[in-house]
Amino acid sequence: MPQDMEIDPEVLSIIQRAKRVTILTGAGVSAESGVATFRSYKEETKESLWSQYDPQKMASIEGFLKNPNRVWQWYQWRRSELKSKKPNDAHKAIAKWQQSKDQRVTLITQNVDGLHQAGGSKDVIELHGNIWSNHCLQCRAEYKGNTDGVEDVIECPKCGGQVRPSVVWFGEALPEKAWRDAESASYSCDVFLSVGTSSQVYPAAGLAALAKSQGATVIEVNPEPTESSVVDYFIVGRAGEVLINILNT
């Protein structure tokens, strides 16, 4: 989608009239920063994480308990990949939008990469945790030590348990406060904008339906059709280009 392409004026008008906008982002928002998605589309499929790694082995407590070092090393590799990544137009456009005086814009992300914060967003609701934090599996204490270059799982200094990345794996509950805030922002918005997510992973994927049940208009931004069945308007395009267009129109 070219930068100067017009988005359907009807959709733009709905977005502009909204007092409260809730944005849910997924891996597609970081794709333009060079971060691999989980279930990428078309030509990028080969590079997506789940096409190369088994989510059961890498992103579940069972996988971690079976082979903690393998999982730890995978996250260390992803951290080292992420170190050079910079926020892109999508992250920056959302951060700018959040500063609007006329609209209340709440950002919910499934991403763990911290790029929204690096792009200037504040009060980011992180549903799946943050890859830069670690905590003890046993006593849950945050581990604040430096993990740069650490190849094997660290022992918790408090209880001797295993230290793990503070992300949400399959089968695990989402952080309570983040989920509460996400539900309340979805309940109370006029427009729910779902950007760069395949809408396959629950409970995050259910927020759009929650918003719709309370009368919000659900708008999706994605270069590809998704699993979501509650979308009122679909904007085909990359996150950065579309969000800049929305903001500048």
Catalytic residue positions?
128
Structure tokens of 100?
């609007």
Kindly tell me which of 117 and 222 has the beta carbon lying closer to ligand BJW: 222
Q: What gap in Å lies between CA 194 and CA 129, rounded to an integer? A: 19
Which of the choices ligand BJW, Zn ion, none does residue 139 contact, using the CB cut-off of 5 to 8 A by kind?
Answer: Zn ion
Which of the choices Zn ion, ligand BJW, none does residue 158 contact, using the CB cut-off of 5 to 8 A by kind?
Answer: Zn ion
CB of 75 to Zn ion, least distance (A): 18
Kindly tell me which of 157 and 203 has the beta carbon lying closer to Zn ion: 157
- Does the footprint of ligand BJW cover residue 119 (CB under 6 A)? no
**DSSP state letters, 152-214:** SPPBPTTTS-BEEEEEPPBTSPPPHHHHHHHHHHHHT-SEEEEES--S-STTGGGHHHHHHHT
Contact positions with ligand BJW (CB under 6 A) in 195-224: 196-198, 200-203, 222-224
- Does the footprint of ligand BJW cover residue 194 (CB under 6 A)? no
Q: Interface with Zn ion by CB under 5 A: which range of 20-28, 76-84, 156-164, 193-201?
A: 156-164
Which of the choices Zn ion, ligand BJW, none does residue 9 contact, using the CB cut-off of 5 to 8 A by kind?
Answer: none
User: Which residues are within 8 A (CB) of 220 and not within 5 positions of it... i.e. 6 or more apart?
Assistant: 193, 194, 195, 199, 208, 226, 228, 231, 233, 234, 235
- Does the footprint of Zn ion cover residue 142 (CB under 5 A)? no
Q: What gap in Å lies between CA 86 and CA 30, rounded to an integer? A: 9
Which chain residues interact with ligand BJW by CB under 6 A? 26-28, 31-32, 37-41, 59, 110, 112, 128, 167-168, 170-173, 196-198, 200-203, 222-224, 226, 238-239
